[in-house]
Amino acid sequence: MSETKQIWHFSEIGTDEETKRLMPGFEIQYVITDETTQDNDQSVFGHCVFPPRSQHFPHKHTVAAEVVYVIKGRVVNGSVGENGEMVEQECGSGTACFVKQGQIHWTRNPYDEPCEFVFAYYGTPSLHKSGYVDHKDDIPVENLMVSGTAKLDHVVDKSLL
């Protein structure tokens, strides 16, 4: 990206190749990053539309916390607790979800309608500098519907935490 400025509309931002690889078929824009906004070294703000029956697999950011806020539709946000237990929560419009730095988490849309949300990383200026660690092959997550909160049977190996 050659231009930096203080104000962006999400439609001005394309999807980069690494994001396409991690989340194929998603509409996702990293709107505020160190590449788009001058003097930004601590935060990321983005916009995303998850298509029906899609998912972003388990991962963590070793140097960033994350917040997701659902605008329209619903998704399932999952995370792994310090004891290795996996919990998922259905999140509809108006729901905010916090993920602490280093916590394994994922987002799924098992429903028939798309979900639109915004997200922010704190402590890093980009996805590439967030310490992203992919756990897709380590932690099995099925894209099943959840109503309310669900505790999953699988317990994550603590060496991954």
pTM assigned to the model: 0.90
CATH numbers and ranges of domains, the chain:
10-155 (2.60.120.10)
In the predicted structure, residue 5 carries a pLDDT above the cut 90: no
Question: What integer is the mean pLDDT of 58-87?
Answer: 96
140/59 Cα distance (integer angstroms): 12
Average pLDDT, the chain: 92
> Which pLDDT value is given to residue 74?
97
Question: What integer is the mean pLDDT of 130-146?
Answer: 92
For 35-67, write each residue's pLDDT tens digit: 999 999 999 999 999 999 999 999 999 999 999
In the predicted structure, residue 23 carries a pLDDT above the cut 90: no
pLDDT band at 137 (very low <50, low <70, confident <90, very high): very high
Bridge partners, 13 (sequence order): none
> Which pLDDT value is given to residue 15?
77
> Which pLDDT value is given to residue 56?
92
25 closest CA partner among 143, 122, 125, 133: 143
**CB burial of residue 128 (10 Å; 0-12, 13-18, 19+):** middle
117 closest CA partner among 95, 144, 148: 95
> Which pLDDT value is given to residue 145?
86
Q: Dihedral sign for Cα 35, 39, 43, 49, please.
A: negative
pLDDT band at 87 (very low <50, low <70, confident <90, very high): very high
DSSP H or E stretch at residue 18: helix 17-22
DSSP H or E stretch at residue 74: strand 74-80
72/112 Cα distance (integer angstroms): 13
Phi, psi of 159 (to 5 degrees): -70, -20
> Which pLDDT value is given to residue 1?
57
Q: Which residues contact 111 (CB under 8 A, 6 or more apart)?
A: 52, 53, 73, 74, 75, 145
